[in-house]
Amino acid sequence: MTDEQGFQKPTPGFATIAVHTGHNPDKWNGAVAPPVVMSTMYKQAPEGHKGYVYSRSANPMRDTLQECLAALEGAKYAFTFASGQGATTSITSLLSKGDHLLSIDDVYGGTSRLMRENLPRHGIDVTFTDITDLNKLENAIQDNTKMVWLETPTNPNCTVVDLAATVQAVKKRGDIIVVVDNTFLTCYLQRPLDFGADIVMYSLTKYMNGHSDVVMGAAVLNSQEIADKLRIIQKCKYCNKTIETSLGLGSKIET
């Protein structure tokens, strides 16, 4: 689309979003690179806090990274965690005793271990099936299924799931949260939210970081209801990463 002068309206590309989103030099006394804020506590005004209270709950470095991740995904919210496993643990903490989780059978080994050995101890039923077969998927969904866990391509076998068809099949069965581990393709090549998924999960350690020197995970989403729950989980479980790591990963995403 063009404006009245005949010029194409500027639309920021992927690289522009990666470099600039979350950066606010005007707020940082003109600093082009995000300043390192090491403080764990923040001065409070008599009438109430101005946004930050304690660095475990929120801090400028983490917020800058999360804002960038959300923008790259075309999403409203992003939450970072100490690792991909930290993200997985936090996302599955949305489930309650008596709930059922259905996962792709070719899921990442660390995820499989968590689901097989940890979740049942909390009263969560877990089933693995070949989700690439829609008939098997539909037959595996139960009345108490609250979450379906997808991974495409899978690590390490690179099994590919038809996201559009799979999400549609799941959503026909009720209000079920669909999670997609998008670690291998990243938001540069695949945006699961555009196919109707509820949460996109990342091990940022791998391609999003790209330098084999940072361990971190993330969950990206649009639902305010789920975001409010994840924010509490992130704060209470202390699954977040250090300020320095947030800054380091943020600079790597730019490249």
Q: How confident is the model at residue 1 (pLDDT cuts 50, 70, 90)?
A: very low
Place of tokens 């309206």: 9
Q: How confident is the model at residue 175 (pLDDT cuts 50, 70, 90)?
A: very high
**Per-residue 3-state assignment (H helix, E strand, C coil) for 132-161:** CCHHHHHHHCCCCEEEEEEECCCCCCCCCC
Question: In the prediction, which pLDDT does 8 show?
Answer: 63
133 is catalytic: no
Which comes out higher in pLDDT, residue 39 or 72?
A: 72
* pLDDT tens, residue by residue, 75-118: 999 999 999 999 999 999 999 999 999 999 999 999 999 999 99
| Candidates 62, 77, 108, 202; catalytic one | 108
Which comes out higher in pLDDT, residue 33 or 198?
A: 198
CA 126 vs. chain centroid, Å, equals 21
Q: pLDDT > 70: what percent of the chain?
A: 84
Alpha-carbon distance of 48 to 68, in angstroms, equals: 28
| Candidates 56, 113, 136, 172; catalytic one | 56
Alpha-carbon distance of 31 to 23, in angstroms, equals: 9
Query: Cα dihedral sign for 155, 161, 163, 167?
Result: negative
* pLDDT tens, residue by residue, 146-161: 999 999 999 999 999 9
Domain segments of the chain: what residues? Answer: 62-253
Read off the pTM: 0.86
43 is catalytic: no
Alpha-carbon distance of 87 to 122, in angstroms, equals: 18
| Candidates 62, 77, 146, 181; catalytic one | 181
Side chain identity at residue 138, one-letter code = E
Neighbours of 25 (CB within 10 A): 11
Fold assignment, 62-253: Aspartate Aminotransferase; domain 2 (3.40.640)
Most confident of 5-9, 52-56, 147-151: 147-151
237 is catalytic: no
Crossing angle of the two packed helices 243-253 and 60-73, in degrees rounded to 10? 30
CA 206 vs. chain centroid, Å, equals 14
Crossing angle of the two packed helices 84-92 and 224-237, in degrees rounded to 10? 120
Which comes out higher in pLDDT, residue 219 or 2?
A: 219
